């Protein structure tokens, strides 16, 4: 019987056996990358809301403090989404005929909640708490990004476990003075590591990485 394959194909077959490892490695890498990508974590996608509320206008332009609207962020796990009454503090007089704000006025008249669409949503098996982060000098923008530049709110970070842990292992890289927590234009100084270590000691920040911190 004559040969079906030419001799030179031997090289190909050896190459492909060898290359298989790389192909496999590539697939694993691609899968991991995809999993952490903004596409999979839904990060950086502006979310359409029933009212086109703009942090860019209210925070960046008017300089309103986060706590004016997110009233419970300092003393509760939940930051709080403002009730319609808080919008009406100003919008009963300002832009009070704008069509854009009609859902707000309807909600105020009928006492029916505006149904904001969640932007951030951790799985229910994860415990998160705003008050501790605020109290220990972690700024809003460290986690939520440039909120003062968002015409519609989006999620900046991946919110994956690796992201939480990166900071829980090295809080000194992110901590800032307590007085700057709500400052949206804060830039970490050049000597962040040095300042960070000082603040970690001063605020007695622990490195919390045990599973039961977040899965309880």
Partner 1 sequence: MRIRPLAWMSLPLIAGGVTIGCRQDMQDQPKYIPLRSDNFFADGRSARPVPEGTVARGLLRADKVFYTGKMGNDFIDRIPFPVNRDVLLRGQDRFNVYCSPCHGRLGNGLGMIVRRGLKRPPSYHIDRLRQVPLGYFYDVITNGFGAMPDYAMQIAPRDRWSVAAYIRVLQYSQNASINDVPAEMRGELPSQNAPAAEGPKK
Contact 130, 77 (CB under 8 A): yes
Q: Which does 173 bind (CB under 5 to 8 A by kind): ligand HEC, partner 1, none?
A: none
| Footprint (CB under 8 A) of partner 1, residues 104-163 | 111-113, 115, 123-125
* Token duo for residue 173: 């890289």
Nearest-angstrom CA–CA distance, 46 and 131: 26
Near ligand HEC by CB under 6 A, which window of 9-17, 23-31, 190-198, 202-210?
202-210
Contact 57, 94 (CB under 8 A): no
Q: Which does 73 bind (CB under 5 to 8 A by kind): partner 1, ligand HEC, none?
A: ligand HEC
Please give the DSSP secondary-structure letter assigned to residue 117.
P
Q: What angle do CA 123, 107, 101 make, to 5 degrees?
A: 95
CA distance readout (Å), 70 to 65, 73, 93, 105, 176: 9, 6, 21, 20, 20
| Footprint (CB under 6 A) of ligand HEC, residues 69-108 | 69-70, 73, 78-79, 81-82, 86-87, 89-91, 94-95, 100-101, 104
- The residue count for binding partner 1 (CB under 8 A) is 31
* Token duo for residue 26: 């590539």
Q: Which does 209 bind (CB under 5 to 8 A by kind): ligand HEC, partner 1, none?
A: ligand HEC
Q: Which does 140 bind (CB under 5 to 8 A by kind): partner 1, ligand HEC, none?
A: ligand HEC
* Token duo for residue 125: 């098996």
Near partner 1 by CB under 8 A, which window of 2-10, 21-29, 47-55, 78-86?
78-86
CA distance readout (Å), 39 to 85, 105, 157: 35, 35, 12
Residues 6 or more apart in contact with residue 95 via CB below 8 angstroms = 101
Binding ligand HEC (rule: CB under 6 A), the pick from 85, 169, 201, 215 is 215
Q: Which does 92 bind (CB under 5 to 8 A by kind): ligand HEC, partner 1, none?
A: partner 1
Footprint of partner 1 on this chain (CB under 8 A)? 62-65, 67-68, 71, 77-78, 80-81, 83, 85-86, 88-90, 92-94, 111-113, 115, 123-125, 182-185
């Amino acid at each position: 019987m004559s040969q079906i394959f030419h001799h030179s194909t031997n090289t190909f077959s050896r190459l492909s056996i060898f290359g298989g490892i790389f192909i496999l490695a590539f697939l694993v890498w691609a899968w991991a990358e995809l999993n952490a990508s903004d596409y999979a974590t839904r990060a950086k996608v502006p979310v359409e809301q029933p009212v086109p509320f703009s942090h860019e206008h209210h925070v960046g332009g008017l300089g309103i403090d986060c706590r004016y609207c997110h009233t419970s962020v300092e003393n509760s796990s939940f930051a709080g989404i403002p009730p319609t009454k808080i919008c009406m503090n100003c919008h009963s007089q300002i832009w009070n005929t704008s069509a854009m704000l009609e859902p707000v006025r309807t909600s105020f008249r009928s006492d029916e909640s505006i149904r904001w669409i969640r932007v951030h949503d951790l799985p229910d098996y994860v415990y998160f708490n705003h008050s501790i982060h605020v109290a220990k000098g972690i700024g809003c923008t460290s986690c939520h990004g440039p909120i003062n530049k968002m015409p519609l709110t989006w999620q900046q970070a991946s919110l994956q476990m690796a992201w939480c842990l990166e900071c829980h292992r090295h809080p000194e890289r992110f901590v800032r003075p307590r007085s700057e927590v709500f400052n949206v234009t804060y830039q970490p100084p050049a000597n962040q590591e040095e300042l960070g270590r000082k603040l970690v000691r001063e605020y007695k920040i622990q490195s919390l990485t045990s599973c039961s911190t977040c899965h309880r």
